[in-house]
Structure 1
Amino acid sequence: MNTAPAPLPPTPDVIASARGLVKTYGRGDTAVHALAGIDVDFERGRLTATMGPSGSGKSTLMHCMAGLDRPTGGTVEVDGQTVSAMSERRLTRLRRDQLGFVFQAFNLVPTLTALENITLPLDIARRPVDRDHLDAVVRAVGLQDRLSHKPGELSGGQQQRVACARALVTRPAVVFADEPTGNLDSTSARDVLGFLRRSVDELGQSVVMVTHDPTAASYADRVLFLADGRIVDELREPTAESVLERLGALTRRAESAATPVAPSGVAPAGVR
């Protein structure tokens, strides 16, 4: 009888990675180590969420990966290019042509229509608009009947969907989303998260999202948990409940580590 093990499923391609990533703010005794030597791979065609308490380094990690902030040490690669070694000119070109960004603030130009905001990166780069791809993105984001409206005529959720479409229209290697639902009500948040999920499933996009919301994280294929500038855990195929459970375990672990150990026979302060 053939007892050979079944072959493992193929490993997804890596679209972005970091090795030994360090980011330090300040010097000497006042130095803050936002990232403390992170090794991480982000998979092509996947939605990855990063979570952690305030000050854990999750936004700093994303900013260094996206070339928005320079690391103190280590290397960052995106789509085969070493971002951490690029000049400012090359970084500007990379961010314009190969990366997409969605932030908590929508960052739309108020005097432009939704359509003009979506195509703005292409116009700045003087690149032609691929009408078929534009139509696919607009359909996916559900804004076909709002393209002539300016941001002030759109709801917050619609404005964020315009920002998502703008991030995708250039066919970026990666979309980086920093708390993309932070300013939205629950219904609008579901719309935006659903669009990001469809951009992965239907358009083959790669998305890295920072969030504090377990429900938002449940839309991801994988969740990374950060604490004190390090990746301390990860979760595949998350649900809101499993994310909450994992966050609770990390919080209890951190509280336990912070509790001072009293000498033998001496009760800790406040214990009778």
Structure 2
Amino acid sequence: MSHTAAYAVPRSPAGGAVAARATGLSKVYGQGETRVAALDSVSVEFRRAEFTAIMGPSGSGKSTLMHCMAGLDSISSGSARIGDVELGSLGDRQLTRLRRDRVGFVFQAFNLLPTLSALENITLPLDIAGRKPDPEWLQRIVTTLGLSGRLAHRPSQLSGGQQQRVAVARALTAKPEIVFADEPTGNLDSRSGAELLGFLRESVQALRQTIVMVTHDPVAASYADRVVFLADGRIVDEIHAPTADAVLDRMKAFDAKGRTN
């Protein structure tokens, strides 16, 4: 696909608040013959109280886009913003503070501290920030995620699914402006995954949380308000109010096009 033919994501409707925005964002690794453009002038908005899924073939730039938007990776050119804050303008300490106070993260690798209990892992970001959790919200998260009887357990005493739920609870407890989730159901069975996705969906509808999720699963993507598709580091399509079948059909079309190119 030529650069000029890349799909242009519509801008937010008038008055629509934007939680995060990329403008002409590029990420390049290496130089010369080893140069790889992981992202090629990507422009996209993630609106407040919206659940966005990012999909695309392996190596399309999905996780790179999320990491750049979350301030976990630097960008080569263009702009990445959380709210009105330009991430490239921040020093290391400012960036750390922004990630701690305004952004939540859920990774497929749980990133739990083995010496802390489940509850201590959940409240750790708030403890570091010197803040106390909202007890009603914390209880709601714990109950919804089925962790009430596991709060005193350390990660080694929990199943993979339970560890992932702890990681999700940690990301949501501080009520961040935006949550970035990288394959959050990748280590969960179908029932646990559905429960987790249902909770993310509820957090968007009831609490106006903003979720950006990288996934390869059409069923997981169907929980989102929209799906943004990447290929070769560019946004090539978008579906609103997706169904699993519609997402699967779109992915099959990309696969077929890739085989003919």
Tell me the TM-score normalized by structure 1. Answer: 0.87
Q: 1: distance between equivalents of 2:245 and 2:35?
A: 36
- Residue 44 (structure 2) aligns with: 40
Q: Secondary structure at the match of 1:202?
A: helix
TM-superposition CA deviations, 1:228-247 (whole Å, max 9, x none): 00000001111111100011
Would the aligned equivalents of 1:173 and 1:205 in 2 still touch at CA under 8 Å?
A: yes
**Residue from 52, 69, 72 that aligns with 1:68:** 72
Task: Compare relative contact order (CA 8 Å, sep 6+) and give the higher one, 1 or 2.
Answer: 2
Query: Does the Cα contact within 8 Å between 1:140 and 1:199 map onto a contact in 2?
Result: no
What RMSD in Å do the two structures reach over aligned CA positions? 1.5
Unaligned runs of 5+ in 2: 1-12
Report what 1:96 is aligned to.
100
The answer (yes or no) to whether the contact 2:164–2:187 under 8 Å persists in 1 is no
Aligned to 1:85: 89
Task: Measure the CA separation in 2 of the matches of 1:76 and 1:10.
Answer: 21
Query: What is the DSSP-based 3-state SS (H/G/I as helix, E as strand, rest coil) of the residue aligned with 1:33?
Result: strand
Per the TM alignment, residue 10 of structure 1 is displaced from its structure 2 partner at its CA by 6.8
Q: Which runs of 4+ in 1 moved over 4 A?
A: none
Deviations 1:232-269 (A, max 9, x none): 0001111111100011112222333x2xxxxxxxxxxx
Alignment deviations for residues 83-125 of structure 1 (CA, whole Å, 9 cap, x no partner):
1221111111011111000000111122222111110111111
Question: Alpha-carbon deviation of 1:145?
Answer: 2.6
* 3-state SS, counterpart of residue 150 of structure 2: coil
For 2:211, the aligned partner's letter is: V
Amino acid at match of 2:136: D
- Return the alpha-carbon distance in structure 1 between the equivalents of residues 138 and 83 of structure 2: 23
Partner of 1:154: 158
Point out where structure 1 has 5 or more consecutive residues left out of the alignment: 1-8, 259-272
Letter in 2 for 1:161: R
Distance 1:145 1:65 in 2: 35
Deviation at 1:176?
A: 0.4
Does the Cα contact within 8 Å between 1:100 and 1:168 map onto a contact in 2? Answer: yes
Determine which structure has more spread, i.e. the larger CA radius of gyration.
Answer: 1
For the pair 1:248 / 2:255, whether they are aligned, the reply is no
Higher helix share: 2
Q: What residue is the counterpart of 2:29 in the other structure?
A: 25
Aligned twin of 2:177: 173
Distance in 1 (alpha carbons) for counterparts of 2:208 and 2:146: 18
Distance 1:109 1:68 in 2: 19
The corresponding residue for 1:109 is 113
Residue-by-residue CA offset, 1:181-240 (whole Å, 9 max, x unaligned): 112222222222122112212222100000111111111110000000000000111111
Partner of 1:263: none
Q: Using the aligned pairs only, state the percent identity.
A: 60
- 2:194 maps to 190
**Could you state the TM-score of these two structures normalised by the residue count of structure 2?**
0.91
1:204 and 1:41 map into 2 onto residues whose CA distance is 16
Instruction: Single out whichever of 185-194 and 68-77 deviates more from structure 2.
Output: 185-194
d(CA) in 2 for partners of 1:208 and 1:83? 17
Q: Distance in 1 between matches of 2:138 and 2:179?
A: 16
